[in-house]
Structure 1
Amino acid sequence: MKFSATVTLQYDTIFSSFSPADYLKGLDWMKANHLDGAELCISNYNNLDVAKIKDELDQRGLGCSTLSTGQARGLEGLSLIGVPADVTKKTQERFMQHIDAAKILGSKVTMGLMRGLGSQTTMDKDLKELAEAMKPIIEYADKKGVIICLEAINRYETALLNSAEATVEFIDNGLGNPDCVGILWDLFHANIEDIGYERSIKIMGNKLKHIHLADSNRMFPGYGHTDIAAILKMVKNTGYSEYASFECFNLPSLETVLNETGAWVQKMREL
């Protein structure tokens, strides 16, 4: 298993310990704390040199685990469903840009809230609409050899695909089980929605392509009640060799995150 942390390139995010202006300092911190890569938060590709970013990662011996894509929903209103057709098209095009960047960076692409929120009363219709909107993205990802990580997100943020089980069912039956679509399993959301961690790991199987690390209260691991070490040990026992990436708040403090990450990761490597 490999480890990464979120760093943002354009706009501040609560999940990064560094501002966009300090992006390179963030990469230096990752290298100093023996992380394997970075999860890059990218909203758009205006004046963004992806090849330069790849070089900056390579210089530090870092990979790119995934591209975090959700900022564009809040900043631009991008969504695959529940919006006018021209917005859906623009969102599809943005995902294709992410796929192009991921091809260069050797990373995966996350699909979280930018897929759309839906509602409980129109869930079946929403999921059919989502499957249709994802078709050109899936075709493009398959052509480029890039994995899309569909995130299971709790019910308080979206009505759609809340649990690992629901996400597996959608990939299998809604999308036809394409090879280029897997699951992003966020332990904060799983703590709310999943019946049991071991059960979810078995249900996801080889569809599990990326993990987000955060405790039950979205704090740094060890400051809530989730036994993350036990969960990661179960995941490692399946042969999982992809990334687990920190997506927690800078809590209980920024200093905690900056000072404890290296030692915590080393403990997880020794499981």
Structure 2
Amino acid sequence: MQLGINLLCLSGFIEAEHIDHLHRLKDLGYDGVEVPVLRGAPAHYEWLGRELDRIGLRRTSTSVIPSALANPVSADPAERLAGRQHLDWAIDCAIALGSESLGGPVHAPIGHFTGQGATEDELNHGAEAHHALAERAQANGMIISLEPLNRFETYFLNTTEQAVAYAERVDHPAFRIMYDTFHAHIEEQSQPRAIARLGRHLGVLHVSENDRGIPGRGQIDFAAVFAAIRANGHDGWVTLEAFGAGLPELAAATRVWRPLFPDFETLFAESILFLRQQWADAAP
């Protein structure tokens, strides 16, 4: 297992002012960080990659589809083209960063709905875009880890069953699925059964409590989740995702209107102890 933490808890754009936090994460024993790729140019992420190398942290990355006007699954050819161009920008930044995975909901804009589930045309448009993205990822030693979201954030992919069918539609060895325990807590009847169904398609595990706060303080049965993950054979990235109210655009998108952890030190230190213990306790 490689244990990481999504840096959206700090900011949507990681800069020099955040470097002290990165050193603290290394000191606590995190193997790497998950860097949000939401804005900026590849040159910035190349700089950040050098800083992470100096600290000794590996990295993955996440991005989103920013707008319905740049949507790779749109029926409109111009919007699809803009969406493909956005995906190319995101992977350019991830390559510059030295990322091992580009993940997140890089399928449809968060909060954008059509009044129905994904159509065959939308699924085919997405699969074409993600196959091309996976080709670029594989050529650069990366994987794509696409994240289904709950039904209140997207209509495109919500369940593990849908995600597996979509992965088979994309049909590329570098295309995987990011499994998020928060979204699955809403959508799945059984998280262990969903993880078993995901099987070889699992790319990155997002550990996120039901309130998006510190794992272990809420309702999710992480003992069952980690037992299923270890039975699955996953030995890759296990990444903490906790959100705060300090990033206005993220708070608005995820409906976070209150502090979900008391401070960064508590989040960082308590979470790594909990996750390491859960992994150890779930050993076969």
Q: Above 0.5 in TM-score?
A: yes
- Of the three residues 108, 128, 132, the one matched with 2:101 is 108
CA distance in 1 between partners of 2:13 and 2:113 (Å): 32
User: Deviation at 1:31?
Assistant: 0.6
Describe the superposition over 1:211-244 as per-residue Cα deviations: whole angstroms up to 9, x where unpaired.
1111112221122110113311321233211111
CA distance in 1 between partners of 2:128 and 2:11 (Å): 37
Query: Partner of 1:209: helix, strand, or coil?
Result: strand
- Amino acid across the alignment from 1:89: L
CA distance in 2 between partners of 1:108 and 1:120 (Å): 32
Residue in structure 2 matched with residue 82 of structure 1 by the alignment = 74
- Of the three residues 126, 132, 137, the one matched with 1:130 is 126
1:73 counterpart = 2:66: yes
1:195 counterpart = 2:205: no
Residue in structure 1 matched with residue 36 of structure 2 by the alignment = 41
Describe the superposition over 1:33-68 as per-residue Cα deviations: whole angstroms up to 9, x where unpaired.
11000000122343733332222112121100x211
Comparing 102-111 with 189-198, greater Cα deviation is found at: 102-111
CA distance in 2 between partners of 1:107 and 1:239 (Å): 19
**Cα pair 2:180 2:208 within 8 Å, conserved:** yes
- Amino acid across the alignment from 1:270: A
**After TM superposition, what 4+ stretches of structure 1 lie above 4 angstroms from structure 2?**
none
1:158 counterpart = 2:154: yes
CA distance in 2 between partners of 1:122 and 1:233 (Å): 32
Query: Partner of 2:137: helix, strand, or coil?
Result: helix
Residue in structure 2 matched with residue 212 of structure 1 by the alignment = 206
User: Deviation at 1:24?
Assistant: 0.8
Comparing 87-96 with 113-122, greater Cα deviation is found at: 113-122
CA distance in 1 between partners of 2:177 and 2:13 (Å): 28
TM-score, normalised to structure 2's length? 0.81
- Of the three residues 263, 272, 275, the one matched with 1:265 is 275
CA distance in 2 between partners of 1:132 and 1:83 (Å): 13
Structure 1 residues 252 and 84: alpha-carbon distance in aligned structure 2, compared to 1, 3 A threshold: same
CA distance in 2 between partners of 1:18 and 1:33 (Å): 22
Describe the superposition over 1:111-152 as per-residue Cα deviations: whole angstroms up to 9, x where unpaired.
405534554536223223322333432333343342111111
CA distance in 1 between partners of 2:12 and 2:82 (Å): 29
Residue in structure 2 matched with residue 227 of structure 1 by the alignment = 221
CA distance in 1 between partners of 2:49 and 2:92 (Å): 13
Query: Partner of 2:43: helix, strand, or coil?
Result: coil
Aligned length: 260
Residue in structure 1 matched with residue 48 of structure 2 by the alignment = 53
Residue in structure 2 matched with residue 10 of structure 1 by the alignment = none
CA distance in 2 between partners of 1:34 and 1:18 (Å): 23
Residue in structure 1 matched with residue 257 of structure 2 by the alignment = none
TM-score, normalised to structure 1's length? 0.84
CA distance in 1 between partners of 2:157 and 2:210 (Å): 19
Structure 1 residues 178 and 113: alpha-carbon distance in aligned structure 2, compared to 1, 3 A threshold: closer
Structure 1 residues 228 and 40: alpha-carbon distance in aligned structure 2, compared to 1, 3 A threshold: same
Residue in structure 1 matched with residue 25 of structure 2 by the alignment = 30
**Cα pair 1:79 1:87 within 8 Å, conserved:** yes
Query: Partner of 2:66: helix, strand, or coil?
Result: helix
- Amino acid across the alignment from 1:165: E
Q: Which runs of 5+ in 1 are unaligned?
A: 8-12
Identity, in percent, stands at 23
1:91 counterpart = 2:100: no
**Cα pair 2:61 2:101 within 8 Å, conserved:** yes
Q: Which runs of 5+ in 2 are unaligned?
A: 245-259
